[in-house]
Amino acid sequence: MRMDRNIKERGHDPYAEARKYPEGAYCPECGAVYRQGRWIWSDVPVRLGNPVLCGACKRVRDAFPAGEVRLSGSYVKKHKDEILNLINKTVGQATSRSPLKRLMDIEEAEGNLVVRLTDDHLARRVAHAVHRAFKGDLRVRYSLEERFVRLQWQREM
Ligand SMILES: [Zn+2]
């Protein structure tokens, strides 16, 4: 497993949040608010300021995830609920802290699961949580051009 955190910072990312939004802008889709340089959840609904789609809602709209976790092997079929619970818990914690870290969808095909996320760090976190809890094999592939991380987890039996 190879992880190079430095490479990541250099690629061009059309969804990068480096760009500045007007203070107090809000996302009309999810209700996140842009304050002091970052998107946060607001305790109260905000409908003042400029409406602008946040990075996560943009990715959802474009169906363009930042990371993908593929889970395969006979273990997935047998322990699907436990695995999904862990994934949802891990994502839920991240989402509650940052509007940009969200689950896009979970696709199920032939007993395998494909989890798509709006944030590459979150994709890593989900894959590592599964790996820690259920062992198995984890492989990481990072595409510099696309700034897209794909993690492949597998366990038989
Ligand atoms: Zn949003």
What DSSP designation does 64 have?
Answer: -
Question: Ligand 1: distance of its center to the CA of 67 in Å?
Answer: 18
Contact present, 87 and 56 (Cβ < 8 Å): no
How many Å lie between the centroid of ligand 1 and the Cα of residue 47?
Answer: 13
Question: Distance between CA atoms of 118 and 68, rounded to whole angstroms?
Answer: 9
Task: Report the separation in Å between the CA atom of 145 and the middle of ligand 1, taken as the mean of its atom positions.
Answer: 25
Show the DSSP H helices in the chain as ranges: 5-8, 55-62, 74-78, 80-97, 120-134
How many residues would you count in the chain? Answer: 157
User: pLDDT of 120-156, one tens digit each?
Assistant: 999 999 999 999 999 999 999 887 776 789 999 999 9
Res 48 pLDDT > 50? yes
